[in-house]
Each structure stands twice: as structure tokens, then as C-alpha cells.
């Protein structure tokens, strides 16, 4: 028996996840690049002074002197190597000596966002590349593959693949060659929509690669 068809398209959860990770990673990297540009811009034309680190209830502060005038400003980062009385170099614009920065303070956000951005971007774009290749192969199989009809023998949840705590659906089917007597089992892609139209005992189209029958696509488009 062949199920009736429809044109509804499933939501590609892996493409969404990959897109989100890639977007987050790209934003983080853009922020890191912005920090680097800001650091270079600030240090260009800046002058330096030696500041002394102090600590109070509000956190670390630095005290430095420019042309006989003393300035006390908060330190915008903390580190395990900071301590009361430590001397560090600070940088300031000649027209605004009250706005002093340290090289670490200018770079700390970049140090945080660069590795995070790389991790998110690598994961995200890897998802997207793999998803693109799978979609390309699926499209090729649907256009040029040899179609056979396999009998659905099971519809189950794949607990090893989850999105927001929801396991993916998988359709398992078998094709029995009436000439050779051999049978072959196929499994569908992971689906995050309920294939409620698929029923055990019904036939489902499977597209085989004509050159490499190990590559196939179980056509689940008409099962939900």
C-alpha cells in the first residue's frame, strides 16, 4: 500500500541549530575584531604612565600622575596576578588623561569573545556544511535515483538525537527482492515532526543511488 502524498516540508532542525551557532559565533568574532580595532586606535597617539594598583570594597583601582596631577580610576578587569601596590603601565590620550586604560583592559573582551566565537562558528558552519551536502545528495537522489517501495516495519524515537528535549522520529522499512529473495533494511533521516501518516505495513518510496546502492533516501515527505 502507498500513502497519499502532500507537499508539506519539515523543519530542518539541524539547519536551524547550525545557523544559530554560526550566527552567534560570527557576532562574537565581530565583537572581538571591534575590540582589536578599538585597542589599536586607542593606543595610537596615546602616552603612558606608571600606575599603582589599590583595592577597596568597590574593587581594584589605579592611581597615576600626569603633569603633576593625580588621577584615580577604577580598573575594568580583575586578574589573579593583581595585588595591592603593584605597578602597571597605563595609557591615555594627551587631551583626556583621566581616561586611562591598560593593555589588558583594552583586550580582555577580545580574549573572551575570540575563542568563544571560534568554537561557535566552527560548530555552526560545520553543521551547515554537512546539512548542505545531505540536502544536495537528497535532491540528486530524488531527481536521478532508482525508486523502490519498501514496507514500513517500525516507527520509533531516536533518543540519541534530541532538540529541546524532544527525540527525533525514525522510520524503518524493509525491501524484499522477489527475484533474489534477499531483503534490505532502510532507515529514514531523523525527523522532528511526527510522521503521523506513516503506518507499519504501508509502503514508502526509497531512492537508491544508481552507481552506489548503499546511498539512499527514504522519502518521508508524504508522512506528515
Q: Where are the domains of the chain?
A: 23-117, 145-218
pLDDT, position 20: 93
Residue 50 to residues 45, 99, 110, Cα–Cα distance (Å)? 17, 14, 24
- Cα 35 from Cα 77, distance rounded (Å): 15
- Cα 106 from Cα 76, distance rounded (Å): 9
- In this predicted structure, the answer to whether residue 34 has a pLDDT above a threshold of 90 is yes
- Cα 56 from Cα 12, distance rounded (Å): 53
Distant-in-sequence, close-in-space partners of 65: CB < 8 Å, separation ≥ 6: 49, 71
pLDDT, position 117: 95
**Vertex 15: Cα angle to 14 and 19 (nearest 5):** 115
Pairing of strands 146-163, 166-176: antiparallel
- In this predicted structure, the answer to whether residue 1 has a pLDDT above a threshold of 70 is no
pLDDT band of residue 5 (cuts 50, 70, 90) is: very low
pLDDT, position 6: 38
202-211 pLDDT, tens digit each: 999 999 999 9
pLDDT band of residue 7 (cuts 50, 70, 90) is: very low
CB atoms within 10 A of CB 41: 11
pLDDT, position 160: 87
pLDDT, position 113: 93
pLDDT, position 9: 38
- In this predicted structure, the answer to whether residue 11 has a pLDDT above a threshold of 70 is no
| Sign of torsion over alpha carbons 203, 205, 210, 215 | negative
- Cα 50 from Cα 88, distance rounded (Å): 6
Torsion of CA 93, 99, 105, 106, to 10 degrees: -40
Q: What is the mean pLDDT of residues 177-199?
A: 90
Give residue 210's Cα distance to chain centre: 35
135-187 pLDDT, tens digit each: 999 999 999 999 999 999 999 999 888 877 889 999 999 999 888 788 999 99
Q: Calculate the average pLDDT of the chain.
A: 89
Instruction: Between 87 and 2, name the one with better pLDDT.
Output: 87
Share of the chain above pLDDT 90, in %: 62
pLDDT, position 213: 86
- In this predicted structure, the answer to whether residue 36 has a pLDDT above a threshold of 80 is yes
pLDDT, position 162: 82
Distant-in-sequence, close-in-space partners of 55: CB < 8 Å, separation ≥ 6: 61, 82, 83, 84
pLDDT, position 81: 83
Amino acid at each position: 500500500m502507498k500513502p497519499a502524498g502532500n507537499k508539506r516540508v519539515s523543519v530542518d532542525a539541524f539547519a536551524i541549530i547550525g545557523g544559530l551557532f554560526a550566527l552567534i559565533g560570527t557576532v562574537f568574532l565581530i565583537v572581538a575584531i571591534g575590540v582589536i580595532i578599538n585597542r589599536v586606535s586607542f593606543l595610537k597617539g596615546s602616552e603612558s604612565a606608571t600606575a599603582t594598583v589599590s583595592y577597596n570594597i568597590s574593587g581594584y583601582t589605579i592611581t597615576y600622575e600626569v603633569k603633576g596631577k593625580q588621577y584615580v580610576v577604577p580598573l575594568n578587569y580583575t586578574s589573579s596576578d593583581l595585588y595591592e601596590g603593584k605597578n602597571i603601565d597605563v595609557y591615555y590620550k594627551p587631551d583626556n588623561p583621566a581616561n586611562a586604560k591598560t593593555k589588558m583592559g583594552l583586550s580582555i573582551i577580545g580574549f573572551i569573545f575570540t575563542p568563544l566565537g571560534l568554537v561557535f562558528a566552527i560548530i555552526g558552519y560545520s553543521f551547515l556544511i554537512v546539512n548542505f551536502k545531505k540536502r544536495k545528495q537528497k535532491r540528486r537522489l530524488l531527481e536521478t535515483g532508482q525508486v523502490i517501495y519498501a514496507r514500513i516495519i517500525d516507527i520509533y524515537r531516536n533518543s540519541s538525537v534530541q532538540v529541546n528535549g524532544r527525540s527525533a522520529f525514525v522510520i524503518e522499512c524493509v525491501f524484499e527482492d522477489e527475484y533474489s529473495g534477499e531483503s534490505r533494511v532502510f532507515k529514514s533521516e531523523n525527523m522532528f515532526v511526527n510522521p503521523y501518516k506513516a503506518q507499519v505495513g504501508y509502503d514508502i518510496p526509497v531512492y537508491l543511488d544508481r552507481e552506489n546502492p548503499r546511498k539512499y533516501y527514504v522519502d518521508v515527505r508524504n508522512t506528515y
